[in-house]
Amino acid sequence: MSAQKRSAPRRARRGEPRLLFFLSLLIIGLLCVVVRLLSVQVVEAKRYQALANSQRLRRVEIAPHRGTIYDRQGKELAFSVDAETIYATPYFIKNPALVASKLSPILELDEASLFEKLTKDSGFAYIARKVDKERAEAVRALEIEGISFLKEGKRCYPYNSLGSHVIGFVGMDGRGLAGLELYYDEFLRGEPGQLVAENDPLGRPIPGGVSRLTPSTDGDGVILTIDRDIQYRAEEELRLQVERFQAKGGSIIVMNPRTGEIYAMANEPAFDLNGFSKASAESLRNRAVTDVYEPGSTMKVIIASTALEEKMHRPDDVFHLPSTIKVADKVIGEAHPRPPEDFTFAEIVAKSSNVGAITIGLELGKERMYKYIEAFGLTKRTGIDFPGETYGFTPPPDRWSGSTIGNIPFGQGISATPLQMIQAFSVLANDGFWVRPHLLCRVINARGEAVKTYPEDRGRKVISTQTAREIRDILEQAVNEGTGEAARIDGYRVAGKTGTAQKPKEEGGGYEPGRHIASFVGFAPAQDPQLVILVVIDEPVGAMYGGVVAAPVFKKVAEFSLRHFRIPPE
Amino acid sequence: MAKRRGATSSYYWLLGSTIVLLLFGLIMILSASSVMAYAKEGDSYYYLKRQLLWALVGLAAMGIFSRFNYRNFRKLSVAGIILALFCLVLVLIPNIGRAAGGASRWLPLGPFAFQPSEFAKLAIILYVADVLTQRRGEIHDLTQLLVPVVPVVGFASALVILQPDMGTAVAICFVSYVLVFLAGARLRHVFGLGVAGSLAALFFIFSEEYRRQRFIAFLNPWVDPRKSGFQIIQSLLAFGSGGIRGLGFGMSRQKFFYLPAAHTDFIFAIIGEELGLIGTLFVVLMFAVLAITGMRIAFRSRDVFGRLLGSGITCMILSQALINMGAVTGILPVTGIPLPLLSFGGSSLVFTLCGIGILLNIATQEKGASYAGSDMRRGDRRTRLPWSSSGRGTKVSGRRR
């Protein structure tokens, strides 16, 4: 009993330190929490704060309203409408499979790909971009946590394929991707605004949360030199002709030779601007600006202008032309073989004599010939306000082979874009001045005031006015009694030149038999040219001459345009 | 009131810190829950009103228990544990227990619900403290120690785990274990039990997929920030956003559906976000006051039972607080244990206040701060300490009355 009594205090003494020990454990535990709190709330606070903000602060870009593109009459060629983009914060999607199955029927998207987007390891994933109001509302009604909405402008092209190559298109991000949408993007796109708001996981603003709004600035309107009606007519006639001759393609340009304004620029094949993503790469090119071709006989006009300007000949000089001509190792004859004959200088152009053109070319010599080819702008870009312009190839004189001088006068062994070619003819129509071609008329702001106007340009003198007029008479003769008869328009004086060129082999070295490029370039009215029109048809089947294939298109488009502009007949 | 005169400081410190934490909790519940309450119930004050009601019930219970001689619990401890075990079984029966969030933890009680595990925590403390007091002579004998304690605690924990509520089970085992230690068991026994308990805990963690996930998320929440790591990351973001001074009362951003269970298990995070380090340190300080006064009350208790009961209740409150604060700050795995006195939850609040009521009663029966202090300093413990008094505390109590 006494032993037990003695042991009790010992236990007691042992018990008290244990209480103290345990209390200190509790205090140590609390101190651990304190240390941790100091770490999270002081040392690393900034990092967590930034993370918290990044998940709550939605920097919503307010897309500016993209400017409208108008034709010269003020018709809308491209405009933006409000559309909604649906995006997800995958982080907050609790049940991706269920959400995918709910969204799939509304958005008509594949469930598996939706699931993939919803489970993406990121804080942002587009679900569907630029959907119409009804679908956006249907998705909104589901009130899915982690699904948010964004207003974005959707680009609309009311005339679908009209002016497709010129107007170009806009990417999903609202930036111009091609054509004038790209070239004048800086005016069209405007300045995006920004809404910084603190949102809950459903994307609803947190009351009392941060919110800053920087309003967006809408894009400016762009008025083009394009005339919707002429553009439409040009496209239509080109398309019909390409179809009729089962051609590979074609281009047409209608412009004002005085001002350089382009009224129409079209190519075949074209594409629907509202579905550009489905168009073939082949159809997206603005061939009139980006592709080159061998101009063929239209080149003879440049050679003739040079000879007249250099005062080597008068239009009525008579040439005795053999049926063929030998240059270096090559014998060149006419397209339609003929016996040796007398041609006037004018007839050489009007009847498109290869032998005659080469004869004149040989007289000019390569240096002078090159100088004028350069002066007419065939060796460099025109500088049109359009992205991706290329220029043709003219070999510099020091690299001409023996036969080059026998090719270039009738437009082979030299290449140019359709735009370069029509420019060269504009010089003739514009009394010898080269004026830069352009598509922009002016940029207007929301109040309709001009922000920028395409600068007027007197142009660069290439040949004398007299030479230009003389050539015009010759070209009128070409239409009236030469190869271009199909271009004649009742009541108007028309000047023009046909061109038929063999297509060079793609691999080089010679020409493809049976494959031609038929072209016609002309202007009207001949005595006071208001319009220059170039038509190029690539690989027509069943006919090959510019006078047959291209000239009728010129005629129809020119006829329409003359009436459209109310240019009185003679 | 005369009987309280001698126990002034402990009693009032405990009462004070409890009331402060309780009021603080009510305010923070309003702030943390108003958004969700409005969204779900259409009434911003929905959770506050309920918690207020429970607080009144709890305060009443605390008042009653503070006047109820704790020594009488020794007679009630067996009945208490049987009732607790019965309720724990009942809650597992599908049509009786009410499930929420994948766990069946509630027994319906009219418009309210009662969480038997909260009651079980208190019952276990009473029971274990009683048994260990009874067996204090055989405390060195492992079998004598284990036979009554381990089966009951084990059974209760197993029932709780089945709910499933691993966190509460751990708390129950831990408190029992601490009591065994405080009762003076041999250190090697204590150590052995600790190893066994840890192994069992690890087994349970890895036997259940969601616990394993939570554990992995605890080790590195960024492994799966979308699911298992979500809560802890959102919690850390709340603490971090608060910084030192906080965003201001009511200004929490994370409560807008980012942080789940903002008003229950994660209320500490909302405190951290709205009131910053100042707020969180204040809470920690209040719990430190609770820990020190609680242990002081146990320390000064004149009998073994009071000493074990007092430290058991303190241990229960503090261990839950530590587990919760540790979990929300990312130093312990998330277990779903509420922060005592602060988190929304009626049963937890009521039984925590009951426990504090008991502590208050123990405090009233101290001999008086000055007396006990001088007593110890003289080293004349033998005659004063409960161990030396031959019998049960009732005798002492009887003398006082």
Test B318 with A47 for CB contact under 8 angstroms: no
Residue B151 C-alpha, separation from nearest chain A C-alpha, in angstroms: 25
pLDDT at residue A239, rounded to an integer: 95
Interface predicted TM-score (ipTM)? 0.87
Residue B34 C-alpha, separation from nearest chain A C-alpha, in angstroms: 12
Test B226 with A33 for CB contact under 8 angstroms: no
Residue A238 C-alpha, separation from nearest chain B C-alpha, in angstroms: 59
Does the active-site annotation cover A297? yes
CA dist list (Å): A481 to A11, A299, A472, A491: 134, 19, 14, 16
User: Where does the pLDDT of residue B360 fall: very low under 50, low under 70, confident under 90, or very high at 90 and above?
Assistant: very high
Residue B230 C-alpha, separation from nearest chain A C-alpha, in angstroms: 9
User: Would you say the C-alpha torsion B14, B15, B16, B19 has a positive or negative sign?
Assistant: positive
Test B184 with A14 for CB contact under 8 angstroms: yes
pLDDT, one tens digit per residue, over B292-321 is 999 999 988 888 899 999 999 999 999 999
Q: What is the mean pLDDT of residues B129-140?
A: 85
Nearest to A527 by CA among A569, A485, A560, A556: A569
CA dist list (Å): A260 to A51, A238, A427: 57, 22, 10
User: Where does the pLDDT of residue B373 fall: very low under 50, low under 70, confident under 90, or very high at 90 and above?
Assistant: very low
Q: Least CA distance to A118: which residue of chain B?
A: B226
Dist CA A382 CA A290 (whole Å)? 12
Of A372-381, A443-452, B116-125, B372-381, give the lowest mean pLDDT range. B372-381
pLDDT at residue B273, rounded to an integer: 92
pLDDT at residue B5, rounded to an integer: 46
Q: What is the mean pLDDT of residues B186-208?
A: 86
Contacting residues for B25 by C-beta, under 8 A, at least 6 apart: B51, B267, B339, B341, B342, B343
- Average pLDDT, rounded, for chain B: 82
- Given the structure tokens 């430290």, which residue do they identify? B311
Q: Which of B40, B181, B239, B259 to mutate to test the interface with A (most CBs of A within 10 A)?
A: B239
Q: Least CA distance to B274: which residue of chain A?
A: A41
Q: Least CA distance to B292: which residue of chain A?
A: A23
Max distance between CA atoms of chain A, in angstroms, equals 156
DSSP string, A93-149: -S-HHHHHHHHHHHHT--HHHHHHHHT-SSS-EEEEEEE-HHHHHHHHHH--TTEEE
With 0-12 / 13-18 / 19 or more C-beta atoms within 10 angstroms meaning exposed / middle / buried, residue A298 is buried
pLDDT at residue B165, rounded to an integer: 83
> What's the one-letter identity of residue A379?
T
- Given the structure tokens 């026998």, which residue do they identify? A406
pLDDT at residue B226, rounded to an integer: 63
Test A9 with B385 for CB contact under 8 angstroms: yes
- Where does A228-277+285-564 sit in CATH, by number? 3.40.710.10
Give B139's contacts in chain A (Cβ within 8 Å).
Answer: 11
Residue B358 has pLDDT above 50, yes or no: yes
pLDDT at residue B175, rounded to an integer: 92
Strand partners, B100: B103
Dist CA B171 CA A497 (whole Å)? 101
Contacting residues for B188 by C-beta, under 8 A, at least 6 apart: none
Beta pairing class for A249-255 and A262-268? antiparallel
Q: Least CA distance to A198: which residue of chain B?
A: B253
Residue B155 C-alpha, separation from nearest chain A C-alpha, in angstroms: 26
> Using an 8 Å Cβ cutoff, are B196 and B146 in contact?
no
- A51 at B interface, C-beta within 8 A: yes
Q: Least CA distance to B228: which residue of chain A?
A: A94
Of B19-28, B110-119, B124-133, B275-284, give the lowest mean pLDDT range. B110-119
pLDDT at residue B101, rounded to an integer: 64
Test B388 with A5 for CB contact under 8 angstroms: yes
Residue from the list A42, A46, A202 with its beta carbon closest to the beta carbon of B257: A202
Q: Which CATH architecture has domain A58-224?
A: Alpha-Beta Complex (3.90)
Residue from the list A12, A29, A52 with its beta carbon closest to the beta carbon of B322: A29
In this prediction, the residues of chain A whose per-residue pLDDT falls under 50 are: 1-14
Give B238's contacts in chain A (Cβ within 8 Å).
Answer: 52
Evaluate whether A58-224 and A228-277+285-564 have a shared fold. no
Q: What is the mean pLDDT of residues B345-372?
A: 81
- Given the structure tokens 């042992």, which residue do they identify? A14
Please, which residues 24-43 of chain A have a Cβ atom closer than 8 Å to chain B?
Answer: 26-27, 29-30, 32-34, 36-38, 40-42
pLDDT at residue A366, rounded to an integer: 87
Residue B283 has pLDDT above 80, yes or no: yes
Residue B252 has pLDDT above 90, yes or no: no
- Given the structure tokens 């509520």, which residue do they identify? B165
DSSP A487: G
User: Where does the pLDDT of residue B381 fall: very low under 50, low under 70, confident under 90, or very high at 90 and above?
Assistant: very low
Residue from the list A12, A27, A48 with its beta carbon closest to the beta carbon of B236: A48
Which member of A148, A164, A251, A297 is catalytic?
A: A297
Test B254 with A52 for CB contact under 8 angstroms: yes
Tokens linked to A522: 């002309």
pLDDT at residue A200, rounded to an integer: 73
Domain ranges in chain A are 58-224, 228-277+285-564
Q: Terminal CA-to-CA distance of chain A, rounded, Å?
A: 146
Test B387 with A36 for CB contact under 8 angstroms: no
More confident residue, B95 or A459: A459
Q: Least CA distance to A14: which residue of chain B?
A: B184
